[in-house]
């Protein structure tokens, strides 16, 4: 007798948030309004969710489950796994019709099969998984007849055997986010199906606000029992915390996978099961990542498929023009680009499952604290024949980066250094392709924007790159403190929280002018951009700022208006911080501009000259500084 196992469940959110309903069920009718899909009628409401796996469909209503979390991403399963036999079972109560649809890579829907049910019954559909080469999903709709019907449950099953049937260990790295961590642990502990696939949960606590001291921790720890282990270590960043989880998982003979999860997230627990089932059926060891939704605007998808553009060696979204994507505005059926299979170079470590076989062959994370550790790891894995898949239907909610600007704070060091280290390890272009030129542009952009702190850190980063790979582990425990301590030397890093703190407060000045013509226009391109850059370079190199603009800010700008093509025209500017909590004062300094521009040119010329030698040095040392033995020394330091 053929044994069928579930690889994806139909689930619903039970936290009574109407904003997330479009991620689980689709309203009845859509129509086009110009180029934009709009709801003509909406027959699905949050009070119709009657359980984790159940939903009521009103009499005469039609509800589609062509939704992010309840459609089946057939193309990914066909392309990467051994699954060829697929079965959908839909448990219903009441008279209804269940209709199954599929899509192709262009997002065109095709009716597959229908079944009418009455009373308590299960609709069963055997579905081929052979014609989804470039894209496509399966999903089902339910139409209630003259009375309401209830979806009791649904599941997608396969009879194909698992290739790697082991358990998963979770690695959660945290720094002072104990409340989030306890909530995540409780969410996992409350789902028996998820708990059954978990071997251990390694919670690597690197903060001063300990998870073990958080309200609710004793109760959740009791639920999880020996599955939960808290590891306390010094703050070694994301890469240090996740490398620790990788190393600990290698000592677990029952764990064939480690799932890396960020701390400040809200997780859909079904995503863990889907990632594990996908990895178990993958034809070769595969890194399986999940997508990222905005924790503060939950229907909005921020990360779908990520790649590294090899010539400038920079990460970007495959569908940059289409994300962020709001499922309230356009659901799966209306979002054609989402039906094409999107192959990824890497997946963010907010949610990323890695087979232990991959770790044993290529080593642990790069010792870089934060930034580029996830991208570099997948590039390294690909060079050993292990792909990365960002799996639709597996996701969590994470605070997005829209209200942050980490390119001008202490993280500027890691952005610059780790990008260069990753390129030295993996770029196939001589001298890194366009990386050096792009890095010079970043320097010039910061300098013309009167941002001298990030330039200082970027140049520290390039000097460290030139030191060679020995500095990576050496500086892990101390570099962050060094970077933060430097901030006090820069006027731009002081944040004025109230008007009383502003420079004019004791001089009777009530406000600074907001210049006209600064809102919502685009910057120059082509020849006008070249001429603008030359003019601003000459201005910052040759002229001194007006004394009055050194004593007080010349203008006040909203963050959105303090762009690279506006700020250089002023001697100083008061600019709202990215999170809106205060204002920073940027002021022009001709001496610093000249010194830092010369230094930028020297550093980039030297990197170009020494590129081949450095690349050889970093690549030869890679197995050593990503080894368990070398990481253990840093853990114990």
Can you give the pLDDT at residue 523? 85
Mean pLDDT, all residues of the chain: 93
Domain that holds residue 177: 167-305+343-398
What's the CA gap between 303 and 400, in Å, rounded?
10
What's the CA gap between 558 and 298, in Å, rounded?
26
Query: What are 346-397's pLDDT values in tens digits?
Result: 999 999 999 999 999 999 999 999 999 999 999 999 999 999 999 999 999 9
Place of tokens 């039970």: 14
Residue 320 lies in a domain: no
Regarding whether 449 and 378 lie in a shared domain, the answer is: no
Mean pLDDT of 496-503: 80
Can you give the pLDDT at residue 302? 93
H or E element at residue 444: helix 435-448
Query: What are 255-274's pLDDT values in tens digits?
Result: 999 999 999 999 999 999 99
Give the percent of the chain with pLDDT over 90: 83
Whole-prediction pTM: 0.94
Residue 483 lies in a domain: yes
Would you call 221 helix, strand, or coil by DSSP?
helix
Residue 484 lies in a domain: yes
Query: What are 1-15's pLDDT values in tens digits?
Result: 689 999 999 999 988
Residue 634 lies in a domain: no
Last residue of a domain, one of 398, 429, 444: 398
Can you give the pLDDT at residue 31? 44
Can you give the pLDDT at residue 158? 98
What six digits make up the tokens of 35?
A: 């180029």
Would you call 297 helix, strand, or coil by DSSP?
strand
Can you give the pLDDT at residue 107? 96
Give whole-number Cα distances, 372 to 379, 445, 489, in Å: 10, 22, 28
What six digits make up the tokens of 156?
A: 């997608």
Regarding whether 124 and 78 lie in a shared domain, the answer is: yes
Regarding whether 186 and 71 lie in a shared domain, the answer is: no
What's the CA gap between 76 and 453, in Å, rounded?
44
Residue 318 lies in a domain: no
Mean pLDDT of 336-343: 96
What six digits make up the tokens of 53?
A: 């796996």
What confidence tier does 509 reach under pLDDT thresholds 50, 70, 90?
A: low
Last residue of a domain, one of 92, 124, 158: 158
Regarding whether 582 and 458 lie in a shared domain, the answer is: yes
Can you give the pLDDT at residue 11? 98
Q: Please tell me the least confidently modeled range out of 190-204, 409-423, 558-572.
A: 558-572
Asked whether the beta carbons of 340 and 351 are under 8 A apart, the reply is no
Place of tokens 């594990």: 276
CB burial of residue 383 (10 Å; 0-12, 13-18, 19+): exposed
Can you give the pLDDT at residue 30? 45
Residue 617 lies in a domain: no
Regarding whether 81 and 180 lie in a shared domain, the answer is: no
What confidence tier does 518 reach under pLDDT thresholds 50, 70, 90?
A: low
Annotated active-site residue in 374, 409, 464, 561: 374
Can you give the pLDDT at residue 512? 66
Q: Please tell me the least confidently modeled range out of 79-88, 375-384, 522-531, 595-604.
A: 522-531
pLDDT at 278 over 80: yes
Give the percent of the chain with pLDDT over 70: 94
Can you give the pLDDT at residue 503? 72
Can you give the pLDDT at residue 507? 52
For 431, residues 6+ apart whose C-beta sits below 8 A from its C-beta are 608, 611, 612
pLDDT at 634 over 70: yes
Asked whether the beta carbons of 494 and 553 are under 8 A apart, the reply is no
- The verdict on whether 374 is a catalytic residue reads yes
Regarding whether 517 and 376 lie in a shared domain, the answer is: no
What confidence tier does 427 reach under pLDDT thresholds 50, 70, 90?
A: very high
What's the CA gap between 68 and 50, in Å, rounded?
19
Can you give the pLDDT at residue 202? 98
Query: What are 23-58's pLDDT values in tens digits?
Result: 999 865 544 444 555 444 455 577 899 999 999 999
What six digits make up the tokens of 485?
A: 């301590």
Give strand pairing partners of 186. Answer: none
Regarding whether 277 and 257 lie in a shared domain, the answer is: yes
Regarding whether 483 and 367 lie in a shared domain, the answer is: no
Query: What are 104-153's pLDDT values in tens digits?
Result: 999 999 999 999 999 999 999 999 999 999 999 999 999 999 999 999 99
Q: CATH number for the domain including 277?
A: 3.90.550.60
Q: Which residues of 303-316 are buried (b: 16+ CB within 10 A; e: fewer)?
A: bbbbbbebebbbbe
Can you give the pLDDT at residue 387? 98
Q: Which of 461, 485, 489 is nearest to 475 (CA)?
A: 461
Number of compact structural domains in the chain: 3
Phi-psi region of 363 (alpha: psi -120 to 50; beta: other; left: phi over 0): left
Regarding whether 394 and 510 lie in a shared domain, the answer is: no
Residue 480 lies in a domain: yes
Last residue of a domain, one of 591, 608, 624: 591
Cβ count within 10 A of residue 368: 23
Regarding whether 203 and 349 lie in a shared domain, the answer is: yes
Regarding whether 280 and 151 lie in a shared domain, the answer is: no
Residue 458 lies in a domain: yes
User: What sign does the dihedral 22-24-25-30 (CA atoms) show?
Assistant: positive
Asked whether the beta carbons of 342 and 366 are under 8 A apart, the reply is no
Mean pLDDT of 452-470: 97
Regarding whether 118 and 54 lie in a shared domain, the answer is: yes
Query: What are 593-633's pLDDT values in tens digits?
Result: 999 999 999 999 999 999 999 999 999 999 999 999 999 99
Mean pLDDT of 281-307: 96
CB burial of residue 539 (10 Å; 0-12, 13-18, 19+): middle
Q: Which of 140, 167, 359 is nearest to 253 (CA)?
A: 167
């Amino acid at each position: 007798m053929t044994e069928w196992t579930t690889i994806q469940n139909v689930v619903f959110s039970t936290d009574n948030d109407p904003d997330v309903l479009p991620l689980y069920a689709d309203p009845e009718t859509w129509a086009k309004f110009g180029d934009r899909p709009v709801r003509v009628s909406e027959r699905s409401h949050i009070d119709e969710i009657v359980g984790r796996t159940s939903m009521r469909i009103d009499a005469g209503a039609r509800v589609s489950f062509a939704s992010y979390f309840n459609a089946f991403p057939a193309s990914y399963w066909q392309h990467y796994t051994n699954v060829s036999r697929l079965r959908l079972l839909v448990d219903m109560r009441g008279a209804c019709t269940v209709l199954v649809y599929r899509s192709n890579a262009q997002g065109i829907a095709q009716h597959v099969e229908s079944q009418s049910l009455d009373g308590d019954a299960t609709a069963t559909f055997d579905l081929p998984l052979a014609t989804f080469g470039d894209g496509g999903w399966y999903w089902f709709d339910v139409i209630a007849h003259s009375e309401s019907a209830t979806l009791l449950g649904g599941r997608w099953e396969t009879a194909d055997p698992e290739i790697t049937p082991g358990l998963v260990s979770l690695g959660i790295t945290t720094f002072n986010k104990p409340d989030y961590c306890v909530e995540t642990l409780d969410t996992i502990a409350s789902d028996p199906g998820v708990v059954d696939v978990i071997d251990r949960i390694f919670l690597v606590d690197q903060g001063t606000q300990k998870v073990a001291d958080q309200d609710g921790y004793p109760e959740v720890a009791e639920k999880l029992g020996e599955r939960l282990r808290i590891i306390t270590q010094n703050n070694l960043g994301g890469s240090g915390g996740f490398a620790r989880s990788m190393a600990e998982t290698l000592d677990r003979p029952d764990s064939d996978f480690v799932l890396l999860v960020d701390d400040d997230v809200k997780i859909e627990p079904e995503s863990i099961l889907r990632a594990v089932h996908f990895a178990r059926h993958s034809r070769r060891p595969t890194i399986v990542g999940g997508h990222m939704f905005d924790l503060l605007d939950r229907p909005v998808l921020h990360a779908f498929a990520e790649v590294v553009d090899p010539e400038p060696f920079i990460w970007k979204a495959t569908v940059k023009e289409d994300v962020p994507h709001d499922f309230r505005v356009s659901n799966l059926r209306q979002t054609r680009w989402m039906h094409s299979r999107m192959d990824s170079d890497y997946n963010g470590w907010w949610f990323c499952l890695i087979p232990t076989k991959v770790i044993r062959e290529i080593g642990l994370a790069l010792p870089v604290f934060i930034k580029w550790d996830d991208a570099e790891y997948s590039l390294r894995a690909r060079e050993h024949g292990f792909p990365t898949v960002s799996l639709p239907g597996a996701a969590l909610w994470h605070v997005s980066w829209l209200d942050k600007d980490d390119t001008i704070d202490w993280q500027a060091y890691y952005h610059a250094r780790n990008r260069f280290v990753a390129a030295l390890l993996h770029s196939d272009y001589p001298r890194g392709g366009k990386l050096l030129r792009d890095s010079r542009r970043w320097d010039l952009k910061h300098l013309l924007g009167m941002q001298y702190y990030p330039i200082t850190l970027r140049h520290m980063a390039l000097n460290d790159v030139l030191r060679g790979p020995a500095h990576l582990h050496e500086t892990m425990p101390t570099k962050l403190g060094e970077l933060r301590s430097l901030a006090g030397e820069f006027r731009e890093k002081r944040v004025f929280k109230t008007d009383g703190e502003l420079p004019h407060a004791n001089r009777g000045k009530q406000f600074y002018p907001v210049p006209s013509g600064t809102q919502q226009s685009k910057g120059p391109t082509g020849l006008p951009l070249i001429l603008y850059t030359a003019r601003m370079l000459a201005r910052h190199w040759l002229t001194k700022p007006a004394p009055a603009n050194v004593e007080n800010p010349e203008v006040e700008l909203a963050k959105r208006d303090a762009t690279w093509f506006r700020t250089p025209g002023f001697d100083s500017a008061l600019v709202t911080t990215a999170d809106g909590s205060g204002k920073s004062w940027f002021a022009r300094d001709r001496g610093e501009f000249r010194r830092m521009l010369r230094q930028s040119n020297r550093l980039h010329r030297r990197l170009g000259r020494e590129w081949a030698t450095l690349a050889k040095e970093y690549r030869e040392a890679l197995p050593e500084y990503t080894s368990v033995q070398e990481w253990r020394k840093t853990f114990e330091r």
